[in-house]
Chain A
Amino acid sequence: MSSVATPAPTPRRRRRTRLQRRQTRLAWLLLLPALAAVAFVAIYPLGKTVYQSFTDQEFLAGVSPTKWVGLHNYFGASGIWHDADFRHSIVVTIKFTLITVSFEFVLGLIIALVVNSSFRGRGAMRAVMLVPWAIPTVVAAQMWKWMLDDTFGVVSDLGKKAHILSRSNAPSWLADHPLMSVSAVDIWKTTPFVALLLLAGLQVIPTDLYEAAAVDGANKLHQFWRITLPLLVPAILVTLIFRTLDALRVFDVFYVFFGNRPDTQTMAIYDQSTIVGDGLVGYGAALSVAIFLVISLFVVIYVTVMRVGDQA
């Protein structure tokens, strides 16, 4: 419509009054602090990371001065492109993300539906449900690590006493099922958060819709599929984005459980041990950029899905 309604831009600019120009200046002036803050806390560190990823900077640089190495960290002989360990860490992280996000979503939805219905003691229920989420992750992880210990851990002990686990050959959770045990802890901890987000979505669905549906003779299952789920889609998408991005950046549970154990390195742990452990700042920065790209891939997927959902 702009091509029809407005003529060439030049006469329009001439028509700008002094007042308008003053207001524009004032707007920029008022925006300046915010822009400076963004530049300081986001653009500068991000830019510096990208810059460092093109250098061979190391901790203890007293050994040799930092050099510009171009794309060597990315595509050189020992670059990320050929780094099997990094590829493995992507696989581990994505596996973890798929497992935890799907379990958390299904369980969280069930819990949200339950606590959304009215029953006695609903407030207490909502509070109790949030307890795992309120515990700091490192504390929770250490707690679970002791509970899952195969020698003095309470899980194996109860399992043996209940004759579910064999006495002589009980499984070692951390050694035999590393990804499962770490996912279980994350699901235990984060499901309440998912439930809370979905609950917020459920609460804005107008109740008269259900009344109307009931009058029309729709049963509960119909109501769920035809009313609840479609109206919950925006909340579901936000939840999934939050959880997916969180899970892709996972560090703490894995670090407490396994430290530098090679078969359970997530992207974040591999990056941390490269920078802090090996002191390879340049290569680590390149890894950070690569992780950023991997995560943005997921963001792009989600946003596309949302656009499509929006147009439909």
Chain B
Amino acid sequence: MWRGVHSGPGLKKGRINVKHRALLVVAGLVGAATLIVSLSVAAAGTSRPTAHAAPAKSAAIAPPKVPNAAAIKAKYHGQKITFVGDSVGGLHARDLALAKRFQKDTGIKVNVVPHPAASDASFAQLARNFSSKSSAFDVMMVDVVWPGAFAPYLVNLKPKLGKAAKAHVAGIIQNDTIGGKLVAMPWFGDYGILYYRSDLLKKYGYSAPPKTWTQLFAMAKKIQDGEKKSNDNFSGFVFQGNAYEGLTCDALEWIASAGGGHIIDNGKVTIDNKNARTILDAVRAQIGKITPKNVTTFQEDQTANGFVSGNAAFARNWPYMYSIAAGADSKVKGKFNVSVLPHGAKGGSVGTVGGWQLAVSKYSKHKDAAIEFVRYATSAGVERYNAIAYSLVPTRTAVAKDKAVVKTNPYLKPAIASVPRVTRPAKFLKGKYNAGSKVIYQGVNEILQGQSASRVLPSIKSKLQRLLR
């Protein structure tokens, strides 16, 4: 087939004069140059804005002791388990601290592996692990929308942790109970909240955070116009606009808060309606106007970078960002506050339910040791530590009311914490949730890139209907 290549017209073979010395020099120089480039890349990686650093407060408070450690040590001492933990913000450091403490007290060795930062990538990782019946992972973080899909592969925790489960918020326990089996234990909760720069609101003559999206857009515009004079990179509003799971959460908040339903209601796809179209088109009109143009590539970390570095007036994010923004490295320390998200003309404020559970794999070789780790990580002591040091929403009702916890986490105040929570359509899509969420976030991302909602929503609708069948 490749005849033509070798027999060029009238070529004499063997005339290539290889100069060995020259080749060596070339190879050496390439190697050296590659080394320099890769080192500078590594350096660039470490010198990025430091919103990733663990908040300084965490140094002051250490992970609590393991309750009943002696009994656990006697039974499971020396076993090894692998925990697929967090990777957002400074939470990998927290996982390592918890694992170290647990290992010290019980003699069970915990190997911590951070999962991919985008939760849909994390879902895919676990799905592959389960479908190959691998025993590589023992304990894993499970997003609030996954128990339905993963239930057949998870250990029923009810016999051992059923009693402890009663101390957690009943709604989440219900979410994690599939077919009468408690397949995951709530670890921390999540809901979308609005972060705002209280100093800038005051400077531009606003006494309170915005109640509606229209107000937010107007305030963001005014503040941005003023601040841009001294800071080119300033923008009014940042959120998660990248085509990934986070955008499904943000979009659900926009749509539900504008009276546009919950994407799928009672098993029927409802996303293609007038209220949803209006709010999505309204958000689209703000891209590049009060947001950075590349907000359509932002995930949680980029959102946090923007806000914490003092380059944004408003941000939509999860509570975890509170401790980063209030940390020692933050440029907005003491200059920001939190509130419920705004709403549209026809709806009320909502927050998308997020949150993570801990589960034990059915294929684990050390199920009992793994369950003990879950028992420790979801204990009142650790939830309190998580809340105070890392601003993670406690799932235990008693911890959520703890005075020290509420003091460091103002979003737990009833005015914000009692906002209606909306859930992503996981219970309708079940095992196809990831595919369904992809349809939603890709469609909404197209709208943010400039497509009109009336063109995109019908296609989202038909694709979701196909998945529901």
Which A residues are closer than 8 A to B by beta carbons?
58-63, 78, 123-124, 126-128, 130-131, 134-135, 139, 142-143, 146, 149-152, 160, 167-168, 171-172, 174-176, 200, 203-204, 206, 230-231, 233-234, 237-238, 258-263, 273, 276-280, 303, 306-307, 309-310
Bits for B20-61, please: 1 = Cβ < 8 Å to A, else 0: 001001111110011001100100100011000000000000
Is B3 engaged at the interface, CB distance under 8 Å to the other chain?
A: yes
Is B404 engaged at the interface, CB distance under 8 Å to the other chain?
A: no
Cα–Cα distance between A278 and B432 once the two chains are bound (Å): 7
Contacting pair B124 A276 (CB below 8 A): yes
Residues in B102-152 with C-beta less than 8 Å from chain A: 118, 120-121, 123-124, 127-128, 130-131, 149-150, 152
Say which residue of A131, A143, A175 sits within 8 Å of B293 (CB atoms).
Answer: A175
B145: min CB distance to chain A, Å: 14
Contacting pair B243 A260 (CB below 8 A): yes
Residues of A within 8 A of B37 (CB): 131, 135
Q: Apart from A134-B33, A306-B4, what are 7 other A-B pairs with CB-CB below 8 Å?
A: A131-B30, A152-B49, A167-B232, A175-B449, A234-B5, A258-B243, A306-B3
Contacting pair A273 B34 (CB below 8 A): no
- Report the nearest A residue to B459, measured CB to CB: A84
Residues of A within 8 A of B8 (CB): 204, 231, 233-234
Contacting pair A130 B30 (CB below 8 A): yes
Residues of A within 8 A of B41 (CB): 139, 142-143
Contacting pair A127 B124 (CB below 8 A): no
Say which residue of A124, A135, A146, A263 sits within 8 Å of B29 (CB atoms).
Answer: A124
Cα–Cα distance between A172 and B438 once the two chains are bound (Å): 24
- Report the nearest A residue to B430, measured CB to CB: A63
Contacting pair B233 A260 (CB below 8 A): no
Q: Which of B350-358, B391-399, B440-448 contacts A (4 or more CB under 8 A)?
A: B440-448
Q: Helix, strand, loop or mixed for chain B's interface?
A: helix
Contacting pair B4 A234 (CB below 8 A): yes
Say which residue of B5, B26, B297 sits within 8 Å of A123 (CB atoms).
Answer: B26
Contacting pair B29 A168 (CB below 8 A): no
- Report the nearest B residue to A78, measured CB to CB: B466
- Report the nearest A residue to B130, measured CB to CB: A60
Residues of A within 8 A of B327 (CB): none
Number of A-B contacts (CB under 8 A): 160
Residues of A within 8 A of B2 (CB): 238, 306
Residues of B within 8 A of A260 (CB): 120, 243-244, 438, 441-442
Contacting pair A279 B33 (CB below 8 A): no
Residues of A within 8 A of B296 (CB): 175, 261
Is B425 engaged at the interface, CB distance under 8 Å to the other chain?
A: no
B153: min CB distance to chain A, Å: 7
Cα–Cα distance between A306 and B124 once the two chains are bound (Å): 43
Residues of B within 8 A of A261 (CB): 242-243, 296-297, 442, 445
A268: min CB distance to chain B, Å: 16
Contacting pair B11 A278 (CB below 8 A): no
Residues of A within 8 A of B22 (CB): 123
A260-B438, A262-B445 known; A204 and B15 CB under 8 Å? Answer: yes
Contacting pair A279 B26 (CB below 8 A): no
Contacting pair A310 B232 (CB below 8 A): no
- Report the nearest A residue to B3, measured CB to CB: A310
Say which residue of B1, B4, B48, B293 sits within 8 Å of A176 (CB atoms).
Answer: B293
Is B431 engaged at the interface, CB distance under 8 Å to the other chain?
A: yes
Cα–Cα distance between A124 and B32 once the two chains are bound (Å): 12
Say which residue of A124, A131, A203, A307 sits within 8 Å of B4 (CB atoms).
Answer: A307
A146-B44, A175-B294, A261-B243 known; A279 and B34 CB under 8 Å? Answer: no
- Report the nearest B residue to A230, measured CB to CB: B9
- Report the nearest B residue to A149, measured CB to CB: B294
Is B311 engaged at the interface, CB distance under 8 Å to the other chain?
A: yes
Contacts A/B (CB < 8 Å), 12 sampled? A123-B29, A124-B25, A131-B37, A135-B38, A146-B48, A150-B292, A172-B293, A172-B294, A237-B4, A258-B297, A261-B445, A279-B124
Is B202 engaged at the interface, CB distance under 8 Å to the other chain?
A: no
Contacting pair A204 B9 (CB below 8 A): no
Residues in B247-296 with C-beta less than 8 Å from chain A: 288, 292-294, 296
Residues of A within 8 A of B244 (CB): 259-260
Is B163 engaged at the interface, CB distance under 8 Å to the other chain?
A: no
Residues of B within 8 A of A278 (CB): 432, 434-435, 438
- Report the nearest A residue to B17, measured CB to CB: A203
A118: min CB distance to chain B, Å: 12
- Report the nearest B residue to A277, measured CB to CB: B124
Cα–Cα distance between A131 and B38 once the two chains are bound (Å): 11
Cα–Cα distance between A167 and B38 once the two chains are bound (Å): 31
Say which residue of A127, A206, A262, A277 sits within 8 Å of B15 (CB atoms).
Answer: A206
A151-B306, A278-B435 known; A263 and B293 CB under 8 Å? Answer: no
Is B16 engaged at the interface, CB distance under 8 Å to the other chain?
A: yes
A85: min CB distance to chain B, Å: 9
- Report the nearest B residue to A201, measured CB to CB: B8
Say which residue of B29, B123, B153, B294 sits within 8 Å of A62 (CB atoms).
Answer: B153
B131: min CB distance to chain A, Å: 5
Cα–Cα distance between A277 and B127 once the two chains are bound (Å): 9
Residues in B225-249 with C-beta less than 8 Å from chain A: 228, 232-233, 242-244
Say which residue of B44, B118, B124 sits within 8 Å of A143 (CB atoms).
Answer: B44
Cα–Cα distance between A98 and B11 once the two chains are bound (Å): 31
Contacting pair B294 A174 (CB below 8 A): yes
Contacting pair B33 A128 (CB below 8 A): yes
Is B403 engaged at the interface, CB distance under 8 Å to the other chain?
A: no
A260-B244, A262-B243 known; A168 and B127 CB under 8 Å? Answer: no
Residues of B within 8 A of A176 (CB): 293
Bits for B167-192, please: 1 = Cβ < 8 Å to A, else 0: 00000000000000000000000000
Residues of A within 8 A of B28 (CB): 127
Cα–Cα distance between A254 and B140 once the two chains are bound (Å): 29
Residues of A within 8 A of B438 (CB): 260, 273, 277-278
Contacting pair B26 A126 (CB below 8 A): yes
Contacting pair A123 B233 (CB below 8 A): no
Say which residue of B9, B233, B449 sits within 8 Å of A263 (CB atoms).
Answer: B449
Contacting pair B29 A127 (CB below 8 A): yes
B325: min CB distance to chain A, Å: 18
